[in-house]
A and B are shown apart, each in its own frame.
Chain A
Amino acid sequence: MQLETTINGRPVPLTFAAGEFLSETLRRYGYLSVKEGCDTGSCGLCTVWLDGSPVLSCSILTARCGGKEITTIEALQTEAEEFGRFMVAEGAEQCGFCAPGFTLTVLAMKRELVDPDEKEISHYLAGNLCRCSGYQGQMRAIKKYMGVK
């Protein structure tokens, strides 16, 4: 199957098998920041933006992405670095396997939530699992990054 999408600001025609999920397609096309952790939409590792909103690419059929705008962290390196500096200052990235999907969700949250408290932040990010960090260092990094108390 074939369709047209925009990936990271550039038009990309995708060729894929019926039933293929977006995470698989993206990795096959070399967007290696997209990680896969569960295949059941449970862990948040494969998060990308679809038309500007974070989605779980392991649970979205590539066939549904015709005409859509897909964004991976490769397109957001400056913002990712800005947030990343807070993350590494806390030591919160640890194994880093969940970090790209998590960071994309944080960047989307920053666009969506105004002056959120800890509870709102945790709720927004509840779908992004991390087995290493215990989430505390991530929260410290997010609060410093977003300038919230």
Chain B
Amino acid sequence: MKYVGKGIPKIDGLALVKGKPAYTSDLDINDNALIVKILRSPHAKARIIGIDASTALAMTGVECVLTHEDVPKTRFTLAGQSFPEPSPYDRRILDDRVRYVGDEVAIVAAVDEATAMEALATIKVDYQVETPALDLNEAIDSEHLVHDYEVHTNFPIGHDATRNIAASHYSEQGDVEAELAASDVVVEEIYNTQAQAHAMMETYRATTSLDVNGRLQVMSSTQIPYHVRRHLSRILDIPKSRIKILKPRLGGGFGGKQTASVELFPAIVTMKTGKPAKIVYTRPETFACATSRHAMQLKVRLGADRDGTIRAVDIYCLSDTGAYGEHAPTVFWVVGQKTLPLYGKAKSCRYHGHAVYTNKSPAGALRGYGATQGTFALESAINQLAAELDIDPAELRLKNLLNEGESHPELCGSSPEKNATLASSSLHRCIKRGRELIGWPKNYSAVKISENKVRGYGMSVTMQGSGISGIDTASALIKLNEDGFFTLSHSASDMGQGSDTVLNQIAAEILEVEMEQVVVTSFDLDTSPYDPGAYASSGAYVTGHATLLAAHDLVRQMCESAAKALNVTIDSVEYAGGVLTSDNKSMTISELAAHLCSQGGMDILVGKGTFGSETSPPPFIAGFAEVEVDLETGKSMVTDYVAVVDCGKVLNENLARIQVEGGVVMGIGMGLYEDVRFSSKGRLATASFMEYRIPSREDFGRIRVEFEESHEPTGPYGAKSIGEVVCNTPPPAIAHAIANATGQWHRKLPILAEDVLLAYIRKRETEHE
């Protein structure tokens, strides 16, 4: 193959490095847009008794001030999910209640930022402050309700606002309690994961205006342009046909921009004033007033025989969705869906629990989407089980993990009638290769390298999915232009992962032309076909497959048209390398294109492809960590990380490798650094890069990535996804390595130096007593 499987540079890469205008704020720079700012609640929970915005309204340069009295009362969710969304409709544009510190109270639009900020300061709000529900463990059945009204859900998700429950789930295969009772060894532990921030470099932003046809034009840094249009249509009560969405390059997303956090604010200002408006979230707003990863508490119970046969896997989960339920049910479900099939040989498994409302900054989608949290808990417990059984944790996994060709009822695509089959997996090979690379037999479990430094070794495995089975469906169109080049239009958002490039590779491969002969456009929803968006690890698998189908469709159409033009039968035309041939007659695609747009041909060829899958084939990773722990300070440093990846066929090795490296570092941050703290009154105390530390390039050693390809029969060229699975293995592998270095298990993230040191000191004191 000429392009697929090659490490092709990103088609837009050089322009981005050279600083060319590409992002939302670059393209709107010459707008005299009104600057939109939000007045935010200082209280975690309060009722707004009165608002006096008269001074702000009277100020020169202030064009618009909106409070809850001025906006529609519609309730909605901002989650970027296919309709009907599983997320509860628990938001209003502005409400007369506030539910977290930072919740929106008023919208101000002024000619410049200084005026908008001055106007905000003049708004007087009379709050009746109420007691918030801040603790995840105390929220269910608390008398302090986050939402004290009936919340609409599109279908049953186990929602119960009267108990602060956003969603519930119970799923059991076999008899977990019986298998646990029959087990020789039972591990039962509680794990806590934090509300990790996306920390994408470009904060949330959107610009709105009315176009010449009076349509609301929205340019936004978003992963979900089609869902944004649907949300705005509902929220503002205007038909979708009256909304035009433009989506420039994104400065990172990681799932944050799968929630339409900001678009509605400038949109309502433009609808009220008729003027262009824009909003750019500050870094503190991005941390505190958009979404984060769901903090979770997970209780894992594992039962196994003495020989290492796992009999039961039980996970009980409490997920903290904060004040609003964006992605609350789905992230919460995925915790079980993307962990239980791993140890699918066990006779029984169960996933159950609740996603819970609290009066804290809202949670939402973040790369890994629940699998990350579930993997930390389950894989930590597996490592502890291996230690208690005195079995090599790699061997324990090789013995119990589901193999390619085996079935499991919790695999995506399973129905009550039929269990789905794992069609592709090289996870066993990934483990064996990773073990070699990290020097497992020689190094495991720890090596003392100096008086106070020990290098511990740890591992974990993980899986994710590729697209959402049975729901999300994407389309691609490829048009043959008048002189023989092609336009590929699609609506997946390229937020850096390189989807435009990978789709270009697939199209050029099938069309048998240079990649430059295919122009990729994904900017304007008016001209590009439906795509749910860049999420659920669907770019290469779902939109990629749609592109493959579109390209094949166009080749077929070109053959048909050439047959007409050459006056031969359709079956006799063959296409290769840009030339259509029938016996001794032939024409190039340029000649065909020129013919079609002339009086002689009079036709347009547009290949179309649509793909949605009944399955969501999981990619896999085996991750191995070497962590150097300083026993005098407790500081842990990942000195070597090995990730061996099964993403099916690797479509672009360079882009895939960077996805893995970036994801591993995000996982290292979650494991060791990224510390989310709220004050006792519910204010996010880590709302800047000064307080919320993401890994810098000095915070870890090397990362090594290898691919063990498998062939996924439903994927384009055998490909599966890679975007999300990459951040799941580091937290449990690091925790395992630290346990091997210090003898102490850490079950709460992040694992800070003080936690390691205090635990180590306590252990030594206990040993001395």
Contacts and interface: CB of A to CB of B under 8 A. Distances in A.
Interface in B493-542: 495-498
Interface string A37-50: 11110110100000
Contact of A17 (B20, B114, B253, B689): B114
A81 B689 contact: no
Nearest to A94: B496
B546 to A, nearest CB: 23
A134 B254 contact: no
A139 B19 contact: no
Given A30-B29, A133-B658, A139-B697, A38 B689 contact: yes
B199 A131 contact: yes
A130 B14 CA distance: 17
Nearest to B284: A39
Contact of A132 (B23, B26, B252): B252
Contact of A87 (B17, B114, B694, B703): B17
Given A45-B201, A87-B17, A94 B658 contact: yes
Contacts of B25: 27
Given A40-B690, A91-B652, A134-B661, A32 B29 contact: yes
A130 B251 CA distance: 11
A93 B663 contact: no
B60 interface: no
Contact of A91 (B200, B251, B495, B654): B654
A101 B664 CA distance: 23
Contacts of A131: 198-201, 252, 254, 662, 666, 694
A113 interface: no
Contacts of A99: 16-17, 19
A40 B689 contact: yes
Contact of A135 (B7, B249, B697): B697
A142 to B, nearest CB: 10
A74 B12 CA distance: 17
Contacts of B199: 131
Which one of A42, A98, A127 has the greatest number of beta carbons of chain B within 10 Å? A42
A32 B658 contact: no
Contact of B200 (A33, A95, A126): A95
Contact of B689 (A42, A74, A77, A95): A42
Interface in B233-251: 249-251
Contacts of B22: 96
A35 B689 contact: no
Contacts of A73: 18-19
A90 B654 CA distance: 6
A85 interface: yes
Contacts of B72: none
Interface in A19-40: 27, 30, 32-35, 37-40
A34 B21 CA distance: 10
B10 interface: yes
B283 interface: yes
B401 to A, nearest CB: 26
B689 A43 contact: yes
Contacts of B20: 33
A136 B14 CA distance: 18
A12 interface: no
B14 A122 contact: no
Interface string A62-106: 000000000011100100110111011111111111111001000
Contacts of B655: 91
Interface string B328-343: 0000000000000000
B18 A80 contact: yes
A39 B282 contact: yes
Overall SS of chain B's interface: loop
B586 interface: no
B50 interface: no
Contacts of B254: 131
Contacts of A138: 697
Interface in B642-694: 652, 654-655, 657-658, 660-666, 688-690, 694
Contacts of A40: 283, 688-690
B698 interface: yes
Nearest to A92: B658
B658 A95 contact: no
A123 B698 contact: yes
Contact of A95 (B250, B664, B702): B250
B251 A35 contact: yes
A30 to B, nearest CB: 7
A33 B26 CA distance: 8
B29 A84 contact: no
B203 interface: yes
A17 to B, nearest CB: 7
A38 B283 contact: yes
Contacts of A38: 283, 688-689
A35 B202 contact: yes
Interface in B100-150: 114
A91 to B, nearest CB: 4
A129 interface: yes
Given A134-B662, A137-B661, A97 B29 contact: no
A133 B14 CA distance: 15
A97 B697 contact: no
A27 B666 CA distance: 30
B439 interface: no
B9 A91 contact: yes
B23 A97 contact: yes
Contacts of A85: 14
A137 B657 contact: yes
A126 B19 contact: no
Contact of B663 (A96, A123, A134): A134
A136 B661 contact: yes
Contacts of B26: 32
B536 to A, nearest CB: 19
Contacts of A74: 19
Nearest to B663: A134
Contacts of B201: 35, 37, 43, 45, 95, 97-98, 129-132
Interface in B615-662: 652, 654-655, 657-658, 660-662
Interface string B695-739: 011100011000000000000000000000000000000000000
Contacts of B18: 33, 73, 77, 80-81, 84, 100, 103
A8 B9 CA distance: 29
Contacts of B203: 37
Contacts of B10: 88, 91, 93
A125 interface: yes
B249 A96 contact: yes
A91 B252 contact: no
A96 B621 CA distance: 26
Contacts of A84: 13-14, 17-18
A98 B662 CA distance: 14
Contact of B665 (A103, A123, A135): A135
A22 to B, nearest CB: 16
Contacts of A94: 252, 496-498, 658, 662
B9 A100 contact: no
Which one of B203, B496, B703 has the greatest number of beta carbons of chain A within 10 Å? B496
Contacts of A97: 16, 23, 200-202, 251-252, 496
22 contacts: A30-B29, A32-B26, A37-B203, A38-B688, A40-B283, A80-B19, A81-B17, A87-B17, A88-B17, A91-B655, A94-B496, A97-B201, A99-B19, A100-B19, A129-B689, A129-B694, A131-B252, A131-B666, A133-B662, A134-B661, A137-B657, A137-B658
The 4 closest A-B pairs by CB, nearest first: A33-B19, A96-B16, A95-B496, A97-B251
Interface of B: 7, 9-10, 12-14, 16-23, 25-26, 29, 114, 198-203, 249-254, 282-283, 495-498, 652, 654-655, 657-658, 660-666, 688-690, 694, 696-698, 702-703
Given A35-B201, A80-B19, A136-B702, 8 more contacts: A39-B282, A83-B17, A92-B658, A93-B16, A93-B496, A99-B16, A122-B697, A134-B658
